[in-house]
């Protein structure tokens, strides 16, 4: 069985992430969306909030699970018996960083392979940072995130 992990901060999850989840769930047997609990990063949503938002979003996907992790990704992958990492490439700017991480992970554990999916053109501009930027000014984020999350995001900015 091919179990893959799609790791990220998902702070908050966007339509770009959802598109990645839908597409990668079709090419692996089981997909674990891994929410990074990075205490060094100042996140808008707690790790519990991020996990539960993604869980709501993927409720209809039978082969997708959500889990949080901290520490090294390769260590978490050993624990859950996953060998594939899924990452998205939006632009050339993603590439340099991503290839370095992918190669480091492969050196750490040669059984681990990273698969890159190119972003859907429709969402190539979209990032969690853009969502936060717009929401902080009360901008329209309805094209960025599922409707049920809009108010939750605004309320973080007292809107």
- Least distance to ligand ADP from the beta carbon of 148, Å? 19
* Single residue of 123, 141, 144, 145 touching ligand ADP by CB under 6 A: 123
Sheet with 30-36, strands from edge to edge, namely 64-69, 30-36, 3-8, 84-89, 113-118
The answer to whether residue 50 forms part of the interface with ligand ADP (CB under 6 A) is no
What's the CA gap between 158 and 126, in Å, rounded? Answer: 23
How many CA atoms, within 13 angstroms, populate the side-chain half-sphere of residue 66? 24
Min separation Cβ 7 and ligand ADP, Å: 6
Cβ–Cβ < 8 Å for 120, 24: no
What is the per-residue binding string for ligand ADP in 126-155, x denoting contact by CB under 6 A? xxx---------------------------
> Residues 5, 20, 21, 64: which binds ligand ADP (CB under 6 A)?
20
Instruction: For residue 22, give the H/E element and its range.
Output: helix 15-25
What backbone phi and psi angles, to 5 degrees, belong to 144? -105, -35
132 classed as catalytic: no
According to CB under 6 A, which one of 87, 112, 131, 135 is a site residue for ligand ADP? 87
For this structure, is 24 an active site residue? no
Give the catalytic positions in this structure. 17, 41, 90, 128
């Amino acid at each position: 069985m091919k179990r893959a992990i799609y790791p990220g901060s998902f702070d908050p999850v966007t339509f770009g992430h959802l598109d990645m989840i839908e597409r990668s769930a079709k090419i692996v047997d089981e997909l674990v969306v891994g929410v990074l609990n990075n205490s060094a990063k100042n996140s808008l949503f707690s790790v519990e909030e991020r996990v539960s938002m993604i869980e709501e979003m993927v409720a209809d996907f039978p082969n997708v699970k959500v889990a949080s992790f901290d520490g090294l990704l390769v260590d978490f992958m050993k624990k859950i018996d996953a060998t594939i990492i899924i990452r998205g490439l939006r632009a050339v700017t993603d590439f340099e960083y991503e290839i370095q991480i992918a190669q480091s992970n492969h050196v750490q554990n040669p059984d681990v392979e990273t698969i890159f999916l190119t972003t859907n053109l429709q969402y190539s501009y979209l990032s969690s940072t853009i969502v936060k930027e717009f929401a902080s000014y009360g901008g329209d984020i309805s094209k960025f995130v599922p409707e049920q999350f809009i108010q939750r995001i605004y309320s973080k900015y007292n809107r």
